[in-house]
Structure 1
Amino acid sequence: MITLKSAREIEAMDRAGDFLASIHIGLRDLLKPGVDMWEVEEYVRRRCKEENVLPLQIGVEGSIMDYPYATCCSLNDEVAHAFPRHYILKDGDLLKVDMVLSEPIDKSVLDVSKLDFDNVAQVKKYTESYAGGLADSCWAYAIGTPSDEVKNLMEVTREAMYLGIEQALVGNRIGDIGAAIQEYAESRGYGVVRDLVGHGVGPTMHEEPMVPNYGVAGRGLRLKEGMVLTIEPMINTGTWEIDTDLETGWAHKTLDGGLSCQYEHQFVITKDGPVILTSQGEERTY
């Protein structure tokens, strides 16, 4: 079912988006060659406990196991949903960090600092029943000095996301978003992942409608004021096809070993156009 969000719900998601954006901004200074990737997970957990925010990815049900971390950290040929882990980041690496966070919660309702984030079953009791504002955003980070291949892939992926957001207008259709992303990325020689897509947000992190990063203009569901969506193109240097880790059921990699990049913003459709709820400030905000 597709729900149009109230002003109160949008304000709550905007608060969550502001906090999540501050996390991504903080990661800019953290991510350097020689840093252990696990520090990303530690940083997000610390910030969540300090500001009483629930990391809503912990406990998400998977095909084999519940997701056990606050972040997804996908490196180089990893497309999405890879686990944060102990790996020393190297000059030229391409890291994508994705997360879903609540808005700051009143401590009289829940004291997040008292939760053991390593106890997935304990945390899941709160994350799966959470009904407040939430935000979902992924950002890509070049570690050290990126190669031209990495730099160009990042630029095309980021632009593809914004071109998709520009199509999120009242009266347009879902296909207009996907067509804009696909046409731009493929015209530059890249593959557009089909198996993973954007989606509606609220009251849970994955709601209808699904928002593919490919499609035909003028086709699909008509967009309405009050929809809150994510647009999250995953763009590969080679084939669009991906493979999935069969041990955990989570991490996805490019089938041909090529690089993959992802950017994701959450936004609300208004009568005046899309308004990004996870804006980091200086990039396009509409």
Structure 2
Amino acid sequence: MPKINFRHDSAPAPSRIADDTERRIAWYRQRGHEVPPRRLIKTPEQIEGIRLSGIVNTGVLDLIEERIRPGMSTAEIDRLVYDYTVSHGAVPAPLNYEGFPKSVCTSIDEVVCHGIPSDKVILKEGDIVNVDVSTILNGYYSDASRMFMIGEVSDEKRRLVEVTRECLHIGAEAAKPFGFVGDIGAAIQRHAEKNGYSVVRDLCGHGVGLEFHEEPEVAHYGRRGTGMLLVPGMVFTIEPMINMGDWRVTVDQRDGWTVRTRDGKPSAQWEHTFVMTESGVKVLTH
């Protein structure tokens, strides 16, 4: 769920960062680069807590994959998400977050993100829908989304979904220890535009784990070598929103949440939560 609302007061700092990592961070800081504050570098215990939250989060999406079908309302998806999450001792993070009324975001066709489930919204043959699930387990947050193609979809929509998934993987491959957040966005933008698509610029990925939304902002476009330094122990989402047409979006003024493409053309999104390691990112949600 890519709405950003940073809070810093409740995130405890790791007690110790390896000396070599400290030296490298200091080297980049001295040269004017943006480096992560200590609170963004998670301890092994915190990473384990986020991983366990991610297991529940992945289980929710697996359940939706089994059940989703034409004729299903998005409210039914919401009920499945809520029931599965609480039965596993967890809490749906979107529920009542800044007034969001449901446990999951369901975004169909031209809805980019933050679609609100409803009994009146029925999935039909040919739809593409993003189901965005976020979970709190024992105070630890995880976040992921998948695209689902309902019945037979057009070749154009299928290709958009597939290329967007490729963008997620390409962004993850570009994320390297002691690289930069901008490396992720540059790789995603290059692949999307090469395929004739555009990248949404108003929303982004984000740090996650001890809070729903933490630093850094992970834009899905941009230039290599820019943005915050990526350091082992950082946990963040990559969640490219790729449009078939123009990248510009609008927010529904009636509900204050639903984001749509301005030109009414379809959009797709995939999302995982990752932890940065000494050798690259490791997936914590699927």
Which interval holds the TM-score relative to the shorter structure?
Answer: 0.7 to 0.9
The amino acid that maps onto 1:146 is V
- Describe the SS at the equivalent of 2:125: coil
- Describe the SS at the equivalent of 2:92: coil
Q: 1:30-179 to 2 correspondence within 5 Å?
A: 30-61=67-98, 66-86=99-119, 87-103=121-137, 105=138, 132-179=139-186
Counterpart in 2 of 1:209?
A: 216
Once the two structures are superposed, what CA deviation does each residue of 1:163-194 show, in whole Å capped at 9, x if it has no partner? 10111111111110000000000111001000
Identical aligned residues as a percent: 40
Where do 4+ consecutive residues of structure 1 move more than 3 Å?
Answer: none
The question of whether the paired residues in 1 share the 8 Å contact of 2:179 and 2:229 is answered with yes
Counterpart in 2 of 1:223?
A: 230
Question: How far did residue 69 of structure 1 move?
Answer: 0.7
TM-score (norm 1): 0.85
Distance in 2, matches of 1:225 and 1:50, equals 33
The question of whether the paired residues in 1 share the 8 Å contact of 2:111 and 2:266 is answered with yes
Distance in 1, matches of 2:198 and 2:279, equals 32
The amino acid that maps onto 2:53 is A
The amino acid that maps onto 1:54 is V
The question of whether the paired residues in 1 share the 8 Å contact of 2:56 and 2:85 is answered with no
Q: Which runs of 5+ in 1 are unaligned?
A: 106-131, 280-286
Counterpart in 1 of 2:255?
A: 248
TM-score (norm 2): 0.85
Question: How far did residue 219 of structure 1 move?
Answer: 1.7
Distance in 1, matches of 2:227 and 2:285, equals 25
Distance in 2, matches of 1:49 and 1:227, equals 27
- Describe the SS at the equivalent of 1:185: helix
- Describe the SS at the equivalent of 1:179: helix
Counterpart in 2 of 1:264?
A: 271
The amino acid that maps onto 1:219 is T
Question: How far did residue 56 of structure 1 move?
Answer: 1.3
Counterpart in 2 of 1:200?
A: 207
- Describe the SS at the equivalent of 2:147: strand
Q: RMSD of the TM alignment (CA)? A: 1.1
